[in-house]
Structure formats: C-alpha cells, structure tokens
C-alpha cells in the first residue's frame, strides 16, 4: 500500500513534567474526475485531422527525400529541409520513416487513420519491418502495446540485427561529477578482476554486469527458491523468486495497459493480505502508485486471474485495447441513471476494503 503521499507531522507539547507526542496523518486527496465531452470531442476531431495531414506530409516528404529536391533549397538533408519548413529534423525523419512504413505495409495506413496505431508507433515500425522475422506480429504489437513498449521492442530488434554484424554500440551518458569519479577506477579494476586486458568500454559493461548479477532479480536463476509457498508462511515478505516471476510476467512495468511506469512499482494483492491472501505470483500484481490508488478507489477493476490480468473501468469497459476505429467509436452521451454527471469523488475509506 502506498504511503508516499501521506504527510506525517510530528510535534511535541511540553509542560513542566509533561511531554505528549502527537502524530497527525493527512490523508491523500481523492482523485477527482469531471465529464467534459466537448473537450474530448474537439481532441478527437483535431487528432483525426492531424493523422490525415501527417500521412499526406509524410508521403510528400518521402518524395522530396527520394528525388533529392532538398538540395534545390540549399539543404544538405531532408532533416534540414524539415527545419527550414518548420518541422524539426527529427520530426522530418520520423515522417519519412512513417511514409516508408506505410509503403512496406499498406494496411498500416488504415490503422493510423482510424487511430488504432499512433503516428509515432507507425513511424517506429519502419525499422522493425525492414528486419522482420517469421512469426513477427508487428501490426498486432503496435495496436496493443504502448508506443514506449513498442519502441523498446523495435530497438531490441535493431540491436540484435546490428550485433550480428558489428559487436559494438555507441553510448553517450551524462554523469554528475561524483558519478564520473566512481566510474574512473573501473577501467583499472575490471582488467585485474578479468585477468586480461580489456578493450575500451568493457570495464563499464563488466561493472554493470557485476551490479546486475548482484541486484537484478531477473538474473536470479529460475526455481532457486528457498522459501516455501507464502500461504503457509506468515509475514509480508515476498520471496525473490516471486519478484522475479512478477517482473518477467509484466515486462517489468505497471500492469495497466499503456502505462509505462517502470520505477517504484508497488505490489498489490488480488486477495487482500488482511483476508488471508498469500504472496505468491498468482496473488500479486505490480502497479504504479497512481493506478494502485485508482484500483483501490474503484475507478479501475481487475477482471481475470493475476496470471493473465485484464482491467476494466468503473463501468466495466475493458482497457486492453486502443480506441475502436473512429467510425464505430461510442458517441458522447448524457450520463444514464445511476451514473452521475457530478465529479467522481470516492471516499478515501474505500482504500481499506480494497486489495492491498
Ligand atoms: Zn500505472
């Protein structure tokens, strides 16, 4: 259970011979929500127009790139051409990648136009489609994963392809002075430990490797569990092997679809600890603190088992996929009976009854 928003104040009242310690807790503000169909509709309409324009701009820019027209405008690259016309070089390159992805995979265009695949994901697909392997489902992944997850998947594929050809990657890092000072001895120590001279960069890899071996649960060997099943062991300790299973199952990020939080995750019990829920993987899920709270407040609900979790909003609508195509999207509607148009405000005490 998150306690990070709780503000704890300690004070002391003193009188001759009397000392009273008092502690006050400020409960976190409940999350609030208010309907604004007009803003949602304007956003959807503008975004729909933006997707169409972006595709047109992408195709035009690809033509500019291919015929080399940009040199006629005194530019050295399509990126510079973009900058000259009010798009950043990065944006221009993404547009070209988008056009090439659509060219390689025509069904992608319809999915972009209907909002099933975001523009940025579609542009990333170019790098993946040109490195496709049998069994890949890039369109399906782009539809169901957040853009960040997809980017990681694409980067991994690009890296794998590269490593087959050249076993080195460039790395640029910005460190604090203290961080740099910590790294300086590594090139001297690592070769001694390895008992051979190491090429430049290897000491950093060796240092990171040592750290991960010490602290990354994903490196623990599967099955090397010493603690018996937590249903028969009293306490709140979650065995390392269970933590490893949880990280592997959830791609080491918040379990809510399209949430990319992957630091400071909280373990949540499906059956609450207070009601005898154990601490094994089939009773645990990992959430960011915001989604943990939304579940506790009833704004989100878990449906299905922890091993294959699905989530729904308070009205029971599944969260597992992107919005349906615009043409079939549910039109904005007035609230029905039993559903208030008033701000949703859930009482903090609902937290106690929810999974912890
Ligand atoms: Zn989350």
The reported pLDDT for the residue numbered 11 is: 46
Whether residues 205 and 160 fall in one domain: no
> Cβ–Cβ contacts within 10 Å for residue 73, how many?
11
**Would residue 289 count as lying in a domain?**
yes
Whether residues 130 and 54 fall in one domain: yes
Name which residue leads in pLDDT, 76 or 5: 76
Whether residues 196 and 269 fall in one domain: no
Name which residue leads in pLDDT, 67 or 171: 67
Tell me the mean pLDDT in the region 277-302.
Answer: 83
Between the CA of 293 and the centroid of ligand 1 the distance, in Å, is 10
Between the CA of 351 and the centroid of ligand 1 the distance, in Å, is 17
Between the CA of 107 and the centroid of ligand 1 the distance, in Å, is 31
Between the CA of 56 and the centroid of ligand 1 the distance, in Å, is 34
Whether residues 149 and 261 fall in one domain: no
Say how many domains are in the chain. 3
**Would residue 57 count as lying in a domain?**
yes
Q: In b/e form, how buried is each residue of 79-88, taking b as 16+ CB within 10 angstroms?
A: bebbbeeebe
Would the pTM count as exceeding 0.75? no
140-167 pLDDT, tens per residue? 999 988 998 899 889 888 877 766 654 4
Whether residues 146 and 241 fall in one domain: no
Whether residues 209 and 242 fall in one domain: no
Residue-by-residue DSSP string for 326-338: GGGSPPP-PPPTT
**Would residue 96 count as lying in a domain?**
yes
Whether residues 203 and 234 fall in one domain: no
Confidence of residue 246 (pLDDT cuts 50, 70, 90): confident
Say how many CA atoms lie within 13 Å of 156 toward its Cβ. Answer: 6
> Cβ–Cβ contacts within 10 Å for residue 78, how many?
22
318: left (phi over 0), alpha (psi -120 to 50) or beta: beta
Whether residues 207 and 145 fall in one domain: no
Whether residues 192 and 255 fall in one domain: no
Between the CA of 205 and the centroid of ligand 1 the distance, in Å, is 31
- Range of 268's domain? 230-334+341-353
**Would residue 244 count as lying in a domain?**
yes
The reported pLDDT for the residue numbered 213 is: 78
Between the CA of 147 and the centroid of ligand 1 the distance, in Å, is 15
The pLDDT of residue 102 is above 80: yes
The reported pLDDT for the residue numbered 22 is: 56
Confidence of residue 92 (pLDDT cuts 50, 70, 90): very high
Between the CA of 308 and the centroid of ligand 1 the distance, in Å, is 16
Candidate ranges 24-28, 55-59, 188-192, 288-292; pick with highest mean pLDDT = 55-59
The pLDDT of residue 321 is above 70: no
Beta strands in the chain (DSSP E): 7-15, 18-26, 32-33, 266-269, 284-287, 300-303, 310-313, 344-345
Between the CA of 94 and the centroid of ligand 1 the distance, in Å, is 27
Between the CA of 126 and the centroid of ligand 1 the distance, in Å, is 28
Candidate ranges 222-226, 259-263, 343-347, 348-352; pick with highest mean pLDDT = 259-263
Query: Is the Cβ–Cβ distance between 246 and 284 less than 8 Å?
Result: yes
Whether residues 238 and 346 fall in one domain: yes
- Per DSSP, 196 falls in state S
Whether residues 158 and 244 fall in one domain: no
Q: What are phi and psi of 215, to 5 degrees?
A: -125, -15
Whether residues 246 and 317 fall in one domain: yes
Between the CA of 295 and the centroid of ligand 1 the distance, in Å, is 10
Percentage of the chain lying above the pLDDT 90 cut: 27
**Would residue 172 count as lying in a domain?**
no
**Would residue 221 count as lying in a domain?**
no
**Would residue 7 count as lying in a domain?**
no
**Would residue 224 count as lying in a domain?**
no
Q: Is 236 exposed, middle or buried (0-12, 13-18, 19+ CB in 10 A)?
A: exposed
The pLDDT of residue 28 is above 60: yes
């Amino acid at each position: 259970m998150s306690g990070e928003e709780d503000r704890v104040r300690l004070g002391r009242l003193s009188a001759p011979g009397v000392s009273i310690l008092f502690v006050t807790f400020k409960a976190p503000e409940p999350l609030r929500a208010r309907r604004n169909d007009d803003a949602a509709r304007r956003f959807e309409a503008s975004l729909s127009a933006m997707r169409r324009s972006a595709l047109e701009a992408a195709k035009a820019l690809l033509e500019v790139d291919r015929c080399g027209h940009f040199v006629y405008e005194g530019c050295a690259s399509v990126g510079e051409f973009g900058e000259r016309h009010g798009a950043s070089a990065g944006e221009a390159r993404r547009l070209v990648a988008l056009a090439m992805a659509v060219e390689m995979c025509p069904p992608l265009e319809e999915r972009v136009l209907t909002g099933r695949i975001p523009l940025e994901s579609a542009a990333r697909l170019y790098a993946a489609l040109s490195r496709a392997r049998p069994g890949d489902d890039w369109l399906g992944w782009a539809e169901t994963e957040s853009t960040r997850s997809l980017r990681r998947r694409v980067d991994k594929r690009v890296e794998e392809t590269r490593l087959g050809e050249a076993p080195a990657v460039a790395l640029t890092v910005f460190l604090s002075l203290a961080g740099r000072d910590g790294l300086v001895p590594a090139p001297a120590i690592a070769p001694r430990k390895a008992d051979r001279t190491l090429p430049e960069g290897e000491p950093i890899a060796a240092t990171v490797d040592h750290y991960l071996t010490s602290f990354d649960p994903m490196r623990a060997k599967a099955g090397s569990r010493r603690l018996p099943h937590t249903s028969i062991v009293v306490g709140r300790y979650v065995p390392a092997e269970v933590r490893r299973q949880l990280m592997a199952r959830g791609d080491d990020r918040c379990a809510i679809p399209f949430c990319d939080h992957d630091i400071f995750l909280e373990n949540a019990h499906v059956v609450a600890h207070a009601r005898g829920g154990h601490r094994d993987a089939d009773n645990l899920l990992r959430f960011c603190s915001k989604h943990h709270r939304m579940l506790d407040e009833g704004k989100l609900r878990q449906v299905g088992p922890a091993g294959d979790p699905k989530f729904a909003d308070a009205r029971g609508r599944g969260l597992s996929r992107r919005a349906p195509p615009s043409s079939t999207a549910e039109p904005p509607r007035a609230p029905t009976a039993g559903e208030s148009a008033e701000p949703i405000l859930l009482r903090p005490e609902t937290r106690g009854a929810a999974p912890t």
